[in-house]
Structure 1
């Protein structure tokens, strides 16, 4: 099996055992962690945002899992092998069960993937199945089909995956939630299942109170590589990040993965908490749907997108609001990804140039005058969102001479609902926490035609073709060049405006032990004790 590249992203607490930074074995204490209200019921193939993902990743186990540094190891899989990188044989380990006591079998995976690829089910993560033979370019089964022809169950512990082309790195994607298994009972009533899911991971789902919390308890049957070392995890849903930070200081919240801007200049010296600061992989962007007047596909829309990008002073925002805990973007991925390069055609569109931006906007106005205002929507429960969106829209006002303003949604779930329903009617903040460590994952699920996270409905067949070539590349050098070529197209079209990458700026309460953050900037909650 080709493992995902290892990344140096682990952030560890610097205190002694008594201060909470060292090893503390296991404990029966329940760990509380910051999160947000999930957008949808907890079905793995329909969960593509952080609030739901935080839960799904703890209550399910996939064929592989990712270590803290981003490298991969088999979890449910005993082996994933191929002679030609096109036909893969998967053997799963014996003894795996779901929390309802039923066995995890080959059918548990194949049936779940078939459900996810069934177009009638409209699953947000269907796009991840597109490499498999028997799906279309959007990952769904054509002509109303119910089963993916490229999946075959051999016996209870074995199934095969036939791809459309040879892809040597395909197994490294199989730790993402779209590829999680489901018990047979899920298909009796998927809506009911999503409200109280039955998983096979290190934790069992106990309960969830909307806009309050989700309670997870340690699994009694899990024997995988991520055993729970605590008495459970409670994910608390906050609408005000400042309140969450105050709760960490007071010992009422154990882990906060993003310190709010109000505390960024002081948190590292705060003796009441444990502070964490390391490079990180998520990015932040602004998505501008092609349906917005003035930003449609064509010369006028391209000029306005370029003008918006050049009118943003990324360094000013990352320094003054985020105290250097954000790094201005130089591409659509992260400098921590294998194959990262700044040598991409069109990358200079990210350079701040107020005069150049105003000239580009004037060229667009010469084609057709812009009417109305440019609005950027954001969720107020995300740390720093209010501050940076207000700063950015002020920059657009000053540098372009246009009417630009922010629009706040109270919660991430509310914002995502309008984005998913395509009722948003404005530009909006977006970002990406990678599903597996690859530049490909920053491009294909977001900008591929029909992809589940393609919130701006962008489509470019040349980009799609390059992504397909990159998937089939037989060596890293060729693959990385194709990634750069694909990003050159994105820099020309700018379906989203890259802003910055988010470093790990996190806090844990005093007395909390074994705190570390992984390659996704997420805490390894199963390891934390107190």
Structure 2
């Protein structure tokens, strides 16, 4: 097997991606010249979520991966990592010493895909609309530090912030800050369905069956002006029911690229193949998985119950049994490769201990075994999730302190039920909006958090999060960030489990595969091309 290392611009401390290239050749996918990309992400419109692709609503990695191709933002992270750079903007920056005034100047002759000019008023409209709609996905909270948006002429936008926010340039690179045309998106209403319009590198046509997007066709936008350089004219993103169906399509040549989420066994098989026309790219991952608690629910309202679970769960055994080398145990909400990470859960609980867990429950006068149901989604994070929850169930039940059952639901039912507080304990994943410790803490702990969690901590919200955002040097913010992580380990509103790597498999005539998906699981379809395999 021919192996070579490829270097990406990366967050400090991350490993570089590895491409395992196995010889052979192929004629590519069966959709003409379009590069066909497979995913197991599901895109469903329902009564609970009628507008899955509206930038003011969308807040999961799958829908963001569609928006990032089509809806332009003022800033963008180059190849997904590192310091944000101007995209729809020609220049952006703080204009004061307190990180509370941020100004952007738009590129000249910027246009939406239909030819309408993009103006500063459109930027203001887009930001103000998302903030005003306050969709129940919670995505608007990314803009929570915005006080007012001001325009000066057609090309300058000024953001006046309520408080210092050194992470604001990152937030302007996320789809909730995407620039939309007021003609296409009503001010006071979400845009139902799957139509997307913007000024990004591609336009998109949706193929929909039974209220589900099954294929998105991206065509190069001739009016696009920005930092990105599409290396293809057309890409199709096809949604598969599971990883086995996606893998079969790759083997048959029906698709050219296989992305998230592949099963652990599939990845191991591709790693071990010595004669294949498929290349596997392994890259650092910023994805995390965790258990979340409805801290108002009677079963887990007492902190000692949550602490006992933290004391019992053996992360190393969980990862070894389910994910092998494709993941690593995680002892904080902040991944080990992000500046500001602290092993707060290990520092507090150490290795798994039955005696310590029993003492926690006994001291709180909790009757054992504690009966719980762990909920998980069957189709959003990959097929290995079911096995993961069986391992968690066994670990807790083997202690004799818990009586745990597990229940899985598809994402279109799971997510609305979770937001309504119907689950006491449930499993979730997090793919960062941007690679900064703030984005692993504030979305779960601040006001209007993405989980709708009833847990509140005044010190975190009123002091520590604002303190950390005042520091443009993120290393300087580590003290505040560590204090937040230590409080989370004490109160356990969320229990981190593991941090995973990212993988992409491509047929060997596809170029740019090492950049097709970044460490945050962002698809960068503009990087893909068709050429000579190696």
TM-score (norm 2): 0.86
- Residue 70 of structure 1 is matched in structure 2 by 81
1:78–1:91: 8 Å Cα contact kept in structure 2?
A: yes
2:331–2:346: 8 Å Cα contact kept in structure 1?
A: no
Residues 246-265 of structure 1 aligned to structure 2 (within 5 Å) = 246-253=248-255, 254-265=257-268
2:73–2:172: 8 Å Cα contact kept in structure 1?
A: yes
Change (3 A) 1:510 1:238: same
Return the offset for 1:111: 0.8
2:69–2:524: 8 Å Cα contact kept in structure 1?
A: no
Q: Distance in 1 between matches of 2:222 and 2:23?
A: 28
Q: Say whether residues 1:447 and 2:445 are aligned partners.
A: yes
Between stretches 61-70 and 428-437, larger displacement belongs to 61-70
2:368–2:402: 8 Å Cα contact kept in structure 1?
A: no
Q: Say whether residues 1:463 and 2:466 are aligned partners.
A: no
1:377–1:426: 8 Å Cα contact kept in structure 2?
A: no
Q: Distance in 2 between matches of 1:477 and 1:121?
A: 33
Change (3 A) 1:327 1:106: same
1:204–1:216: 8 Å Cα contact kept in structure 2?
A: yes
- Residue 375 of structure 2 is matched in structure 1 by 376
Query: Any stretches of 5+ residues in structure 1 without a counterpart?
Result: 21-26, 134-149
Q: Distance in 1 between matches of 2:471 and 2:195?
A: 41
Q: Say whether residues 1:195 and 2:189 are aligned partners.
A: no
Of 211, 214, 220, the residue aligned with 1:212 is 214
- Residue 6 of structure 2 is matched in structure 1 by none
2:331–2:345: 8 Å Cα contact kept in structure 1?
A: no
1:17-62 deviation digits (Å, cap 9, x = unpaired) = 9769xxxxxx943332314123542111211112211111111111
Q: Distance in 1 between matches of 2:333 and 2:509?
A: 38
Q: Say whether residues 1:95 and 2:109 are aligned partners.
A: yes
Residues 324-403 of structure 1 aligned to structure 2 (within 5 Å) = 324-342=325-343, 344=344, 347-349=347-349, 351-364=351-364, 366-367=365-366, 372-383=371-382, 384-403=384-403
SS in structure 2 at match of 1:478: coil
Return the offset for 1:402: 2.3
Of 426, 431, 434, the residue aligned with 1:433 is 431
SS in structure 1 at match of 2:183: helix
Between stretches 458-467 and 352-361, larger displacement belongs to 352-361
1:35–1:54: 8 Å Cα contact kept in structure 2?
A: no
2:334–2:340: 8 Å Cα contact kept in structure 1?
A: no
1:268–1:276: 8 Å Cα contact kept in structure 2?
A: no
Between stretches 42-51 and 243-252, larger displacement belongs to 243-252
Of 17, 27, 31, the residue aligned with 1:11 is 17
Change (3 A) 1:341 1:370: closer
- Residue 4 of structure 2 is matched in structure 1 by none
Return the offset for 1:371: 5.9
Return the offset for 1:358: 3.2
Return the offset for 1:495: 1.1
Q: Distance in 2 between matches of 1:202 and 1:262?
A: 35
Of 225, 230, 246, the residue aligned with 1:223 is 225
Query: Any stretches of 5+ residues in structure 2 without a counterpart?
Result: 1-8, 27-31
Change (3 A) 1:389 1:429: same
Which has the larger strand fraction? 2
SS in structure 2 at match of 1:186: coil
- Residue 136 of structure 1 is matched in structure 2 by none
Q: Distance in 2 between matches of 1:269 and 1:169?
A: 41
Return the offset for 1:379: 2.4
1:439–1:483: 8 Å Cα contact kept in structure 2?
A: yes
Q: Distance in 1 between matches of 2:141 and 2:135?
A: 13
- Residue 79 of structure 1 is matched in structure 2 by 91
Change (3 A) 1:186 1:363: farther
Return the offset for 1:370: 6.3
Q: Distance in 2 between matches of 1:4 and 1:473?
A: 21
Q: Distance in 1 between matches of 2:79 and 2:341?
A: 20
SS in structure 1 at match of 2:481: helix
1:11–1:518: 8 Å Cα contact kept in structure 2?
A: no
- Residue 137 of structure 1 is matched in structure 2 by none
Return the offset for 1:318: 1.0
Q: Distance in 1 between matches of 2:528 and 2:485?
A: 38
- Residue 152 of structure 2 is matched in structure 1 by 154
TM-score (norm 1): 0.86
